[in-house]
Amino acid sequence: MKKPFVTDEKLKEITATIPTPFHLYDEKGIRENTKAVKQAFSWNPGFKEYFAVKANPNPTLIKIMGEYGCGCDCSSLTELMLADAMGFSKDQIMFSSNVTPKEEYILADKLGGIINLDDFTHIDFLEETLGAIPEVISCRFNPGGLFKMSNGIMDNPGDSKYGMTTEQLFEAFRVLKAKGAREFGIHAFLASNTVTNEYYPMLAKILFELAVKLQKETGCHIKFINLSGGVGIPYQPDETPNDILAIGEGVHKVYDEILVPAKMGDVSLCTEMGRFMTGPYGCLVTKATHEKHIYKEYIGCDASAVDLLRPAMYGAYHHITVMGKEDQPCDHKYDVTGALCENNDKFAVDRMLPKIEPGDLLVIHDTGAHGYSMGYNYNGKLKSAEVLLKEDQSFEVIRRAETPKDYFATLDGTSEYKKMFPNG
């Protein structure tokens, strides 16, 4: 059974000063996990984790991981601006985007970040935009077909909009080298949220064999190989968490089998994990506000899909703990909902939980990645606060909740705004 990283007593202390809903993060868990990732790949001297900013763009959390040498994986102009504002630069930034506008390539180059090209046609576009191809460049690979692991996990790269085909990748390296690139990287992302220690070693084998062939046939020096993300977390209570130390050793074994004999033992490895880095170390704290008894039993909360979109968007499972009732039997079946005018605004469907009464605090687990970051303002709902539970058990707001003033701010200066708010 999943247990929250915060006690009922501590949560009542927090909610006495910070109104629900809010996302709560576990500083101790993030630090310990980041150290474990660093240890798992310590055998590779050039290893670097580029935290996927898209997963959680909170500067406080990113700076914590930065203390252990993590960089930023950015995918947009504002994410690049955020990384820059936090002091990240040059090889601390990996820029992996698609359908990329000129201004994003310009800023990535200005910051000295490593550009990871998603498409063959972007080579000429990048050269025209920057005036020259950077000396260090990466390309994203899509092998097509299906990617299947022995434990039944399958993804379909052939149906993905990302990356280059095998033929395009080889031609891209030749063209980029002719245009002045001197050092190359390979990147691939083939499966999402894998809860298995097999994924990274299997992906590494594909990319290592590809790297040997690329370097031999194109003469391009492979400087780094980026395993991207895909290492997942156990959203379901009966799932076994990944063992990052075992994963690191599995990649090490493949590295020694393939790259070292090919005299490519100087290749650095990168990862771009988001979910694994912060996912389990965040939760959405919400209060039960209403109960409804019609064809089903409903519990209404003050949080909604604007605070956590994954259940509405994917039907994703997030475990729920009713605080203070952890030891009570789960003998009531509920749909746990928000207040949006959409019937998919549900955190749980037909979920067996203890009896819930208005005023009970609910902890919705595993929202530390792709939680707050996927929020929006439908129905005029305002995004909630983010709170850090520190190692010493004190807490602080690391992003305030939005206010109606924030909601209307983008109208400021328009004639309609002036009519609506003549006094500013």
Q: Where are the domains of the chain?
A: 27-279, 280-410
Q: Residue 193 and residue 199: Cα distance in Å, rounded? A: 10
Write down the pTM of the prediction: 0.95
DSSP state of 339: S
**Span 257-307, pLDDT tens digits:** 999 999 999 999 999 999 999 999 999 999 999 999 999 999 999 999 999
**Span 369-383, pLDDT tens digits:** 999 999 999 999 999
Superfamily of domain 27-279: Alanine racemase (3.20.20.10)
Active site residues: 341
Q: How do strand 385-389 and strand 395-399 relate by DSSP bridges?
A: antiparallel
Residue 360: band (very low, low, confident or very high) from pLDDT cuts 50, 70, 90: very high
Q: How far is CA 47 from the centre of its chain?
A: 19
Structural fold of domain 280-410: Lyase, Ornithine Decarboxylase; Chain A, domain 1 (2.40.37)
**251 in Cβ contact with 201 (< 8 Å):** yes
- 280-410 matches 27-279 in CATH topology: no
Block residue for tokens 């947009």: 76
